[in-house]
């Protein structure tokens, strides 16, 4: 195996593949980057058992002298390529257990891993796939995946529930304290689909996707999902089980509705959370709608001090005075998901979930469960 390629091109694709590189695994082979050198292409593969990435590099700078496959320790290989001088890098398999990397004045040898220990990964594309615009897919992930649970005691809640019915795709995520739902209209009609994709997988996928007008083709299997984007294939396992019925959790009637400037509300909550008696990462703050339709955001810590922020709604308030407490982190993360400059918060009561919507965030809502305080 022997090839030459532009260093920056190689590094660019290695950094994408690194998203699926495993650092802690009982299988040392998963710490490796698999290179398959073909006649006109370099295929880069990584996997951490949760997700797998395959990149087919067909670049004008690629020159293949001999074909072959090798498994290289990923951490060291990527750092070596990152720090090399010169425009071109020459990689060759010189012995059974050595790889040689040459660039400019550098000549480096690196022990390779046992190729036979690497899993047989199948990136199989289906005849029928779902097409989603890349920007739309990134929006769906950005507005839902953050609400998945990070606690493994209910594994099903660590995933985003995707349902396809005709031309409608609905994504829902919840950790039982908050909920995110986004609905989009697809360009074509598809057979019904019901899958649960790990939130962490989708967040890694979002880092790979660029902001352009290309489509991502999504191929569903019984236990896996394959996202095909440009020259990248992104494979993730699916979660098994039945996702909870979340529709009944969303209130339908709202006696109180307040519309805020999103940035002003976020800043007020951030300042109030600084002095909460709870930890600042998940501070509890109180929102009060007063009789004169002004709103206060407050927190209090007997040991530190008290914060009282006054904020004025940007539209006429609907409903009577209300006082409610909530996790500042949950509300801030929900607010950050909105593209709208104004966000409406609709309340059903002081102890019942409240819902956030935005005028320009079509078919998206964020729900947060209040916190009971003394």
pLDDT tens-digit map of 212-221: 889 999 999 9
| Contact by Cβ (8 Å): 28, 36 | no
Task: Identify the structural domains of the chain with CATH numbers, from first to last.
Answer: 2-117 (3.10.150.10), 130-247 (3.10.150.10), 250-368 (3.70.10.10)
Per-residue pLDDT at 77: 97
pTM for this prediction = 0.93
What value does the mean pLDDT of the chain take?
94
Per-residue pLDDT at 373: 76
Q: Extract the residue ranges of the chain whose pLDDT is less than 50.
A: none
Per-residue pLDDT at 348: 94
Per-residue pLDDT at 96: 79
Could you tell me where the beta strands, DSSP code E, fall in 159-209?
Answer: 159-174, 178-198
pLDDT in tens, 194-206: 999 999 999 999 9
């Amino acid at each position: 195996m022997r090839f030459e390629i532009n260093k920056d091109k190689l590094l660019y694709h290695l950094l994408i593949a690194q998203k699926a590189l495993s650092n802690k695994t009982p299988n040392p082979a998963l710490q490796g980057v698999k290179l398959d050198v073909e006649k006109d292409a370099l295929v880069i593969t990584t996997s951490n058992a949760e997700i797998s990435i395959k990149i087919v590099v067909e670049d004008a700078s690629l020159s293949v002298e001999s074909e072959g496959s090798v498994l290289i320790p990923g951490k060291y290989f990527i750092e070596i390529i990152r720090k090399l001088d010169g425009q071109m890098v020459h990689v060759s398999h010189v012995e059974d257990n050595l790889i040689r990397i040459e660039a400019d004045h550098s000549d480096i040898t690196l022990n390779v891993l046992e190729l036979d220990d690497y899993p047989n990964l199948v990136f199989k594309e289906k005849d029928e796939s779902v097409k989603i615009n890349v920007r739309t897919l990134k929006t769906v992930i950005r507005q839902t995946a953050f609400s998945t649970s990070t606690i493994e005691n209910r594994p099903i809640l660590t995933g985003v529930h995707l349902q396809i019915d005709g031309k409608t795709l609905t994504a829902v995520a919840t950790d039982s304290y908050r909920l995110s739902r986004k609905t989009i209209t697809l360009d074509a009609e598809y057979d019904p689909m019901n899958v649960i994709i790990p939130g962490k997988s989708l967040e890694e996928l979002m880092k790979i996707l660029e902001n352009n007008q290309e489509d991502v083709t999504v191929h569903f299997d019984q236990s896996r999902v394959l996202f095909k984007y440009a020259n990248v294939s992104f494979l993730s396992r699916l979660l098994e089980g039945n996702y909870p019925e979340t529709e009944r959790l969303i209130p339908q009637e709202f006696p109180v509705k307040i519309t805020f400037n999103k940035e002003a509300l976020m800043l007020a909550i951030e300042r109030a959370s600084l002095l909460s008696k709870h930890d600042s990462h998940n501070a509890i703050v109180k929102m009060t709608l007063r009789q004169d339709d002004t709103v206060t955001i407050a927190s209090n810590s007997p040991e530190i001090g008290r914060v009282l922020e006054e904020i004025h709604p940007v539209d006429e308030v609907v409903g009577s005075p209300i006082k409610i407490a909530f996790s500042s982190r949950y509300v801030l993360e929900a607010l950050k998901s909105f593209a709208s400059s104004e966000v409406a918060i609709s309340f059903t009561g002081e102890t019942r979930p409240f819902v956030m919507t935005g005028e320009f965030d079509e078919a998206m809502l964020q729900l947060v469960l209040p916190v009971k305080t003394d």
